[in-house]
């Protein structure tokens, strides 16, 4: 299994709009062959001292059964449509692509 943690920095005034567009795409992604999990998250305030929060970051948690499934996902037509819709809302994107050890 492959786990992806995508940190997407959004323009502060656009976070709600981004999440709405993202959620519209989730059912299509969950139907993809090899998709196990795919959901957006935001930071929750706690009193845990090591925590760093940023209200302008949406973190996407994904699980795929293989790298090949993830690669197919990245070029899926609905992903191209999604990227076009959110391109002006995003400041930056970073990915962590992980596997269990």
Interacting residues of 36 by C-beta distance below 8 A, sequence separation 6+: 1, 63, 64, 65
Q: Where are the domains of the chain?
A: 2-99
Q: What's CA 98's distance to the chain center, in Å? A: 14
- 54: nearest Cα among 4, 7, 6: 7
Render pLDDT for 67-79 as a digit per residue (tens, 0 to 9): 999 999 999 999 9
pTM of the model: 0.92
Render pLDDT for 12-44 as a digit per residue (tens, 0 to 9): 999 999 999 999 999 999 999 999 999 999 999
Percent of the chain with pLDDT over 70: 100
CATH, domain range 2-99: 3.30.70.100
């Amino acid at each position: 299994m492959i786990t992806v943690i995508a940190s997407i920095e959004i323009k502060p005034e656009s976070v709600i709009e981004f999440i709405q567009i993202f959620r519209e795409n989730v059912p299509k992604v969950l139907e993809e062959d090899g998709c196990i999990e795919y959901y957006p998250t935001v930071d929750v305030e706690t009193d845990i001292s090591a925590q760093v929060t940023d209200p302008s970051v949406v973190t996407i948690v994904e699980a795929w059964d293989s790298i090949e499934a993830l690669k197919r996902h990245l070029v899926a037509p609905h992903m191209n449509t999604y990227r076009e819709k959110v391109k002006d809302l995003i400041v930056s994107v970073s990915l962590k692509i992980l596997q269990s050890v």
